[in-house]
A and B are shown apart, each in its own frame.
Chain A
Amino acid sequence: MHREITRDPRPKDVYFFATCLVDLFCPEAGMDAIELLEREGIAVHFPENQTCCGQPAYTSGYADEARAVAQVQMALFPEDWPIVVPSGSCAGMMRHHYHKLFADDASLKAKADALAERVFELSEFLLEVLAVQWKESSTGRRPTTVALHTSCSARREMGTHVHARALLDSLPGVTVVTQSHESECCGFGGTFSLKHPAISGAMAGDKADALKESGAETFLSADCGCLLNINHTLQKRKDAFQGKHLATFLRERTEPAGTGDEA
């Protein structure tokens, strides 16, 4: 799960794979993620032809359809640059499942394997590859308490819950509280939430309760699927408590250590 990452040489360019959910439902999270990368001096390239990683069809048992979509994405990254994804779930699909989709085709399988090596979840990339050094922005000086909800793919496939947590722990004004049943799924599960609304809704409701009861001012997640699931559950209850994408929170509260605002 955890892989050795070399920081040298520091990349100058990265591809940004936004994911379909970020593109259509959470574009602000995507913009914030791009800004976090750019302010580290990285040139962020957004392949215009990107659509979706293919996960919805893959997990629904429609492998041919998933394969067709995945193959289109695999052609989008010709340069040997890292591919940064602001979602543990989609990153997990590209790193851990593409090679299974192409198991029967040696050349595509080799391509999938090579691609997997270049895929990074955003917080993992910020911490492990860029080793970001931040200081608090003016917004960031206001003390706050947050809870972190890590998606199941981020936690169990990518192991990036540690990265998100480490980034938050490095911010002096931020207190991270742990909600009960922290590692339990929020009930999104892609088409699962449509097929089994009662079960999925029960899970989402419990997760919303746990996050609220944690005493946090807001909650954060590095996955838009979880955020949409939990936020819309809270909205249905007419609850003002809402979560935001980790990238947005980090962008708001930090700036690179090199920038001077003392004057």
Chain B
Amino acid sequence: MSANANVSARERILGRLRAAAPQSKPAAPDVHALYAAMRKDDSRAERIARFCAQMAFWRGEVVPVTADGWTDTLRELCAAKGVASLLHGPRGVHDSALAAAGIPGLKAYDRPVGEWKQELFEATDAGFTSTRGAIAETGTLIIWPDAAEPRLMSLVPPIHFALLDADCIHDTLFDAMTAEGWSADGGRSLPTNALLISGPSKTADIQQTLAYGAHGPKELVVLLLDKTRETAANAAEENRQ
């Protein structure tokens, strides 16, 4: 395919579209009004509870944790789930806390993936990532991978632990992207790969029967960090019932 042929395909397609594009353009749709009409005026506690219930619906596990005790909880969870190797970000903000927690098999994602793909795929039991926030309506984590926390940490290991600050739970995806200005400045703040994750990987491709762990993690564990710890505990309690 020569560059020339390509340019002309572009020109021809755009030419046909321009020739046919309607003269009168419809007004911009009012997405804000739609979400204003659908907005739930939930309290913080209700929003957290909704997130927990929805995440549980997707088979995500929500474990309430405290600011000074979450690494202990993580260590206990790893022990309970038989995690022999836990992957963390090379320069993540939680590096030192994790290192101090005495979790066996802790290892950093500190090389380009091409140098250790096999080990990542075959000898890594769990990955730990932070989160940017979450969405209550759908029980969804917002994760923005970067150099410190690469993309595959939340995908390849069979268990994904994600630390979520309860203060960062938005009502809807629309609320999250507008409140945080994702598209401001042409979306320059967006990472090369932004992710929404709602539960472990799943499929219903065989006779509409739901199965977990299709290609990605079989388990998703959300460590829900709530400064007002009662709220989170209550929410998780309700969600268990």
Taking the complex as a whole, does A directly touch B, i.e. does some CB pair lie under 8 Å apart? no
Identify the A interface with B (CB < 8 A): none
Identify the B interface with A (CB < 8 A): none
